[in-house]
Amino acid sequence: MTTLAMPEPNAVVLSRRAEIVAALRAIVPGEGVIADERGMRPYESDGLTAYAQLPMVVVLPETTAQVAAILQYCHANGIRVVPRGAGTSLSGGALPLADGVLLSMMKFNRVLDIDFANRAAVVQPGVTNLGITRAVEHAGFYYAPDPSSQIACSIGGNVAENSGGVHCLKYGLTANNVLGVELVTIEGEIVRLGGKHLDAEGYDLLGVIVGSEGLLGVVTEVTVRLLRAPESARAVLIGFHSSEAAGQCVAEIIAAGIIPGGMEMMDRPAIHAAEDFVHAGYPRDAEALMIVELDGPPVEVAHLIERVEAIALKNGAFECRISTSDAERLTFWAGRKAAFPAVGRISPDYYCMDGTIPRRELPKVLARMRELSEHYGLGCANVFHAGDGNLHPLILYDANIPGELEKAEAFGADILRLCVEVGGVLTGEHGVGVEKRDLMPEMFAEADLDQQIRLKCAFDQDHLLNPGKVFPNLHRCAELGRMHVHAGATRFPDLPRF
């Protein structure tokens, strides 16, 4: 069903399928290899369900040695590999390839070591994000980055996407909370980067791996930072009659030196969808709704709430409700956290975009999005991490109506172009994957992209790890920088371009 241009399947690899499946079964015996169509169906797409593709074969290793042997074999035989965690990516990062091995890491599901003295935990990559907090909360600790998908998404996927969440404004993204990884390269070499200690020797390769979307290696172990759970937390629900006023309120809170634990915003369609679904008590007459959470010692929280309330009222807030219990605070959040499924109830399909803009541009971007919505004839609900300018427009469409998916894609591309135009960036927290791959040139010059591909080449010369993702075209590593087209003749016609 994919309309995307992906690397041409390798006919030689496909003709050797039976032999490849047998070789993988020798490495991962028992039920670790799935080769029948029915068994592979659940793996045909990730959270970006607009695109689907059956892989050549699915393999579920249980040990790092097995991962190393699989990658070594694939490397020696020129076989492409797509790593996969829980498959919740919204940018198609785990979309399989027809001639590729889909390497699921979900059997790596153990917490290996909890070290409160060093405020660190060592976990396998298939442990869910929330699973880490569940393992340490009895002692008053937690893992801070909290994607809305945290009940399902894996920490390995979080590392690959540098995932964020409501609390990342104050506590940082995955990159700020991962201390080390064990990684297997496409050649099958096992590498350790960082660890419980606070600084790593040599170049900061950990920084290169976090956010590398499965293109540089397969993560087989993750060491994360643990934080003490805040002493107390309270949330303020703030309603505005205009998004301009809400945008100004966000800017003034940050300018006042207040860094809330979380600061989220929703527009009218998202407010209504969430309220109908969760009944969180959101004001239906609001054009924009903010949830601001303050955490820390109770005295500090009380003081900051007063300041936030004053800024909100000064900017014309017509409703300012402060949570009086933890249950009420969680109710405020329930609607926001369920905003995606809530929108799923009002439209057969939706396409979730993810871009980042300077906070002050929010009203302008929202106004332009309304124009685009009219232009394409498709609805759009907006939820955003207002504090860090990360937008999540949800474009409503019906995949069963011919042409609507293409319209949604074009609408989404225009939104991302708009983000770049106002000084923002193409990605927020969902990665590039296939979703934003072809828009990369809107943001990066060819020289920038070549430089990024050189980094990829340093890890994976043959482009076997997750090809077709992130980069709009491939360059053979050896010829990088020397490719040019003369009089319409391409020098390396066999290079895949998509």
Ligand X SMILES: Cc1cc2nc3c(=O)[nH]c(=O)nc-3n(C[C@H](O)[C@H](O)[C@H](O)COP(=O)(O)OP(=O)(O)OC[C@H]3O[C@@H](n4cnc5c(N)ncnc54)[C@H](O)[C@@H]3O)c2cc1C
> Which chain residues interact with ligand X by CB under 6 A?
46-47, 82-90, 93-94, 105, 125, 147-149, 153-154, 156-158, 160-161, 163-165, 213-214, 218-219, 340, 429-430, 466
Measured from the CB of residue 93, what is the shortest distance to ligand X in angstroms?
3
Instruction: Find out whether 364 and 422 touch, Cβ atoms under 8 Å.
Output: yes
| Cβ nearer to ligand X, comparing 315 with 467 | 467
Q: Which residue in 429, 395, 422 sits closest to 410, CA to CA?
A: 395
Instruction: Give the shortest CB-47-to-ligand X separation in angstroms.
Output: 4
148 versus 248: smaller Cβ distance to ligand X: 148
Q: How far apart are CA 322 and CA 296, in angstroms?
A: 16
Q: Toward ligand X, which CB reaches closer, 24 or 311?
A: 24
CA distance 489 to 480: 17
Residue of 71, 62, 70, 65 lying closest to 105 (CA atoms):
62
- Closest CB to ligand X among residues 315, 356: 356
- Considering the complex, what minimum distance in angstroms separates the CB of residue 396 from ligand X? 16
Nearest to 465 by CA among 477, 456, 453: 456
Between 83 and 355, whose beta carbon lies closer to ligand X?
83
- The CB-of-92 to ligand X minimum distance in angstroms stands at 8
Tokens of 272: 């209504």
With respect to ligand X, which residue has the nearer C-beta, 160 or 265?
160
Query: Least CB distance from residue 300 to ligand X, whole Å?
Result: 26
Nearer to ligand X, 165 or 230 (CB): 165
Residue listed under structure tokens 């990829």: 456
| Token pair 């009089």 in the structure block, residue | 487
To ligand X, the closest distance from the beta carbon of 470 in angstroms equals 9
CB closer to ligand X out of 376 and 384 = 384
Dihedral angle over CA of 62, 65, 67, 73, nearest 10 = -140
Question: For every residue of the chain, which 3-state class applies, written as one string?
Answer: CCCCCCCCCCHHHHHCHHHHHHHHHHHCCCCCEECCHHHHHHHCCCCCCCCCCCCCEEECCCCHHHHHHHHHHHHHCCCEEEEECCCCCCCCCCCCCCCEEEEECCCCCCEEEEECCCCEEEECCCCEHHHHHHHHHHHCEECCCCCCCCCCCEHHHHHHHCCCCCCHHHHCCHHHHEEEEEEECCCCCEEEEECCCCCCCCCCHHHHHCCCCCCCCEEEEEEEECEECCCEEEEEEEEECCHHHHHHHHHHHHHCCCCCCEEEEEEHHHHHHHHHHHCCCCCCCCCEEEEEEEEECHHHHHHHHHHHHHHHHHCCCCEEEECCCHHHHHHHHHHHHCHHHHHHHHCCEEEECCEECCHHHHHHHHHHHHHHHHHHCCCEEEEEEHHHCEEEEEEEECCCCCCHHHHHHHHHHHHHHHHHHCCCECCCCCCCCCCCHHHHHHHCCHHHHHHHHHHHHHHCCCCCECCCCCCCECCCHHHCCCCCEECCEECCCCCCEC
CB of 120 to ligand X, least distance (A): 19
Smallest separation (angstroms) from ligand X to the CB of 44: 13
Q: Kindly state the smallest distance separating residue 303's Cβ from ligand X, in Å.
A: 29
Residue 340 φ/ψ, nearest 5 degrees: -65, -55
Nearer to ligand X, 93 or 387 (CB): 93
CB of 484 to ligand X, least distance (A): 31
**Minimum distance of ligand X from residue 365's CB (angstroms):** 19
Residue number of the CB atom closest to ligand X: 157
Single-letter amino acid, residue 133: T
Instruction: Report the residue number, 91 or 323, with the smaller CB distance to ligand X.
Output: 91
Q: Residue 404 or residue 460: which is nearer to ligand X going by CB?
A: 460
Q: Which is nearer to ligand X, 168 or 288 (CB)?
A: 168
CB of 124 to ligand X, least distance (A): 9
Of 7 and 164, CB closest to ligand X: 164
Least distance to ligand X, CB of residue 464, Å: 13
